[in-house]
Amino acid sequence: MKPMNFRGRWVLITGASSGLGLEMARLLAKEHGAHIIAVARREDRLTALKAELESAHGVQVLPLSADLTKPGDAARVFETATSGRTVDGVILNAGVTYFGHALEQQPESFDAMLATNITSVVRMSQLFGAHFAKQGGGGALMLVASTAGFAPLPYQTAYAATKSFVISYGRGLAYELRKAGVSVTVFAPGGIATEMLSVSGLDRKFKAGDVGIMSAEACARIAVEAFVHRRELSVPGVLNRFLATLMKLLPHGFMMGRSAALYEGALPKEPPAP
């Protein structure tokens, strides 16, 4: 497939208010001249992003506040995004994690993770994939997964399982849509210095600048390059690619032990409140 040209075209990004999604929106506007449909829950941040990108780069930005844990919001985003405009690219980046003992994750936390990381990804990829195919192909989807999805990961057990689903689903979908001229890129980063690192509590052990923790800006550049060139799978960073290969080659029990030992240093020292 030929690389995508997004200049003057619309690209939708979920999770666009912070971290990787924010940096991808900035890069697509600045270096590729793309108009951005920015999707996230925090409307004030989306409004600020609109002002920033339109002023600095002369592109159009549609802020679209949505909560992808809510039934029907994925379909609402699709209908709003495609009303009166042609969308040529979609990056499904929104995601949530849980760090800690799997038995201590509350049901509402798991339900929100499942809805955000899996259900909304499937629904939106179906809607936009069919939309691109009906347009005669040429559209591009990107599903943001994680290196955590290549093997079971203690203390991020449910999160790693959701990302394993995204990797498998995205690659299967890429094969199905290839003949229609629609590309699907699975992007699987390792640790990124974003709000998720602090919100999850992982910043007790892992800090920005540590080996294996990539800046959001550097990660976004690799992600956008893979998206534009319509690669099926992209793992950013030499260390991450090496670890992804080890996860495929070495017994999962061995890899789980090494990962668990590393993560145990980030677990809370005090037991959780009842």
- Amino acid code (one letter) for 185: T
In Å, how far are 204, 209, 247, 253, 272 from 30, measured between CA atoms? Answer: 34, 25, 36, 44, 44
pTM: 0.88
| Nearest residue to 45 via CA among 31, 24, 63 | 63
Residues spanned by the domain of 71 = 10-266
Residue 185 lies in a domain: yes
> Across the chain, what does the average pLDDT equal?
89
41-75: per-residue pLDDT in tens? 999 999 999 999 999 999 999 999 999 999 999 99
**Which of 98, 155, 159, 169 is flagged as catalytic?**
159
State how far the Cα of 149 lies from the Cα of 129, in Å rounded to an integer.
23
- How many domains are contained in the chain? 1
Is 159 a residue of the active site? yes
Residue 273 lies in a domain: no
Q: Are 41 and 17 in contact (CB under 8 A)?
A: yes
In Å, how far are 10, 59, 60, 67, 215 from 55, measured between CA atoms? Answer: 17, 8, 10, 27, 25
| Nearest residue to 17 via CA among 48, 47, 34, 40 | 40
CATH number at residue 226: 3.40.50.720
Residue 1 lies in a domain: no
Residue 65 lies in a domain: yes
What per-residue confidence (pLDDT) applies to 1? 87
Residue 211 lies in a domain: yes
Residue 113 lies in a domain: yes
What per-residue confidence (pLDDT) applies to 247? 76
What per-residue confidence (pLDDT) applies to 193? 60
Given a cut of 70, the residues of the chain with pLDDT beneath it are: 193-212, 268-274
Residue 5 lies in a domain: no
Q: Are 49 and 17 in contact (CB under 8 A)?
A: yes
Residue 274 lies in a domain: no
